């Protein structure tokens, strides 16, 4: 009877200890989660009373707030990094207190299917993405100094990685380039007392003017026992667009 009673006491004590361990684990877990959660910052105004400056510090309260102005931020579109862009923020009545101004070029860089946008969407220089595209979001991340943009898949183009819209192609600087090659040979046959001379040359020129690219290729072939030959080919293309000229 005594052995059975001791066994019961040990079992009861083990259950009690296990329960205490589980409660302690839950408390520690809750404390860790509470510490990892980001808390709103409340700026202390106590020391400002001494100066009686009357400054309003409420703009510094809260989480991930950014003041209106111009910033350079890393921009991500649907988790795809696009680079570091200059972004302007204007005051707005929303949770972040600002709206990010988007230019038409930025909208195109997001691979948005612009054919689904209003006809005059390019007229503004400060486009609010959430207003222009229903369902789109723009979120400022203060810790990483980045701007996360999301656009619904239904509004995106199906383009390969690294694709750049022809609307963003740069015309470049006006240039004029030329390259040439010239080769020749002279062969003398002592037995026949004959000499054969050959000359070959080519000239390639290229000119860039605005969106146009002009290229010419000229050849010349001379020799004793061949007819003089020469040729020229010219081509011109313009971008962006499907125009071209070949002669």
| Angle, CA 235 vertex, CA 231 and CA 241 arms, to 5° | 170
Find out whether 101 and 89 touch, Cβ atoms under 8 Å. Answer: yes
Question: What is the rounded CA–CA span in Å between residue 4 and residue 69?
Answer: 78
Tokens representing 219 are: 């050849």
In the chain, CATH 3.10.20.410 covers: 63-165
The whole-model pTM stands at 0.52
Find out whether 107 and 129 touch, Cβ atoms under 8 Å. Answer: yes
How many Å separate Cα 87 from the centre of its chain? 13
What pLDDT does residue 78 have?
A: 92
Question: What is the rounded CA–CA span in Å between residue 247 and residue 140?
Answer: 54
What pLDDT does residue 35 have?
A: 45
Task: Please state the CATH superfamily assignment of the domain spanning residues 63-165 in this structure.
Answer: PapC, N-terminal domain (3.10.20.410)
What pLDDT does residue 181 have?
A: 93
pLDDT mean values, one per 10 residues, the chain (247 residues): 50 51 54 50 58 58 73 93 93 85 92 91 89 92 90 89 74 86 86 83 87 84 70 64 55
Q: Hunting for tokens 């002279």 — which residue is that? A: 186
Question: What is the rounded CA–CA span in Å between residue 105 and residue 107?
Answer: 5
What pLDDT does residue 7 have?
A: 47
Which strand ranges, in their side-by-side order, compose the sheet holding 175-189?
Answer: 175-189, 194-209, 212-223, 226-238, 243-246
């Amino acid at each position: 009877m005594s052995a059975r009673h001791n066994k019961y006491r040990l079992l009861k004590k083990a259950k009690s200890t296990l329960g205490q361990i589980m409660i302690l684990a839950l408390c520690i877990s809750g404390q860790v989660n509470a510490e990892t959660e980001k808390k709103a910052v409340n700026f202390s105004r106590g020391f400002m009373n001494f100066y009686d400056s009357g400054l309003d510090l409420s703009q510094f309260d809260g989480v991930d707030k950014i003041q209106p102005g111009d910033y350079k931020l890393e921009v991500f579109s649907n988790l795809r990094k696009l680079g570091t862009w200059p972004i302007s923020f204007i005051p707005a009545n929303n949770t972040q207190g600002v709206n990010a101004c988007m230019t038409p070029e930025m909208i195109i860089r997001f691979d948005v299917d612009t054919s689904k946008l209003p006809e005059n969407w390019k007229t503004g220089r400060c486009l609010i993405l959430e207003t222009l595209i229903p369902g789109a979001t723009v979120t400022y991340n203060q810790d990483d100094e980045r701007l996360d943009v999301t656009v619904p898949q239904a509004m995106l183009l199906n383009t390969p990685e690294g694709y750049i819209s022809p609307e963003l192609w740069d015309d470049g600087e006006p240039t004029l380039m030329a390259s040439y090659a010239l080769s020749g040979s002279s062969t003398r046959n002592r037995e026949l007392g004959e000499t054969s001379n050959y000359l070959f040359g080519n000239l390639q020129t290229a000119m860039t003017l605005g969106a146009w690219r002009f290229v010419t290729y000229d050849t010349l072939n001379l020799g004793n026992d061949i007819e003089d030959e020469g040729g020229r080919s010219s081509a011109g293309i313009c971008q962006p667009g499907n125009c071209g000229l070949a002669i």
